[in-house]
Chain A
Amino acid sequence: GAGVSQSPSNKVTEKGKDVELRCDPISGHTALYWYRQSLGQGLEFLIYFQGNSAPDKSGLPSDRFSAERTGGSVSTLTIQRTQQEDSAVYLCASSLGDRLGEQYFGPGTRLTVT
């Protein structure tokens, strides 16, 4: 079946604007994850969804970041009042949901804040 998809693939925005990043997980995967990959920072965890609930939001860097998931499927990561340090590749992954599950990643959204 189809893999994890993300949109847009690239986003350039001005500092101070809000952005929304979308993730479509693999059908049937109940767990969904957001990660961020920055130059010099490596890959860091942001948030985890199980169904529509987010039991672990501890990786969100500030209250400007929020995420939701609806229908146990699509997820949206919103960044308000973007800053230049938010520039990164935002990656989404999904898995079958048990803690042993393999995570499958989407192609990412490259966000550039000017």
Chain B
Amino acid sequence: KQEVTQIPAALSVPEGENLVLNCSFTDSAIYNLQWFRQDPGKGLTSLLLIQSSQREQTSGRLNASLDKSSGRSTLYIAASQPGDSATYLCAVKTSGSRLTFGEGTQLTVNP
């Protein structure tokens, strides 16, 4: 059974800092990995999708890497801003259809 773990559970940083969120998964036979953002009381916004054959994806200030063999992914956020404050969720698709989610990292960026 696939299990996804995210570290840290919560993170508070000053504005402008670069930061890294970590995600690990137990079954390396994945199709892809998605990073999402969730604002309080809202749905999930897809940030980046990395296929199993890829090593990284970039979008603006966000960069996600994937090391499938070691079961790890990182989300790098450059020059953090207060608007980046949200919960970040990592999810993997192992087989069939479903995504298996981590518990999330709650990020607070202080002005």
Binding site for B on A (CB under 8 A): 4, 31, 33, 35, 42-45, 48, 50, 55-56, 59, 91, 93, 99-100, 102-108, 110
- A99–B42 CB distance below 8 A: no
Contacts of B34 in A (CB 8 A): 102-103
Contacts of A59 in B (CB 8 A): 98
- B98–A56 CB distance below 8 A: yes
Segment at the interface with A among B18-26, B44-52, B60-68? B44-52
B103 proximal to A (CB < 8 A): yes
Q: Known A42-B103, A43-B89; judge A102-B46 contact (CB<8 A).
A: yes
B76 proximal to A (CB < 8 A): no
Instruction: Return A105 CB to nearest CB of chain B, in Å.
Output: 4
Contacts of B91 in A (CB 8 A): 43
In the bound complex, what is the Cα–Cα distance between A99 and B34 (angstroms)? 13
Main secondary structure of the interface of B (DSSP, over half): strand
Binding site for A on B (CB under 8 A): 31-32, 34, 36, 41-46, 49, 51, 89, 91, 93, 96-104
Contacts of A108 in B (CB 8 A): 42-43
A-B CB contact pairs (8 Å), 22 listed: A4-B43, A33-B97, A33-B98, A42-B102, A42-B103, A43-B89, A43-B99, A45-B100, A48-B96, A48-B97, A56-B97, A56-B98, A93-B99, A99-B93, A100-B31, A100-B32, A100-B51, A102-B34, A102-B49, A103-B99, A105-B45, A110-B41
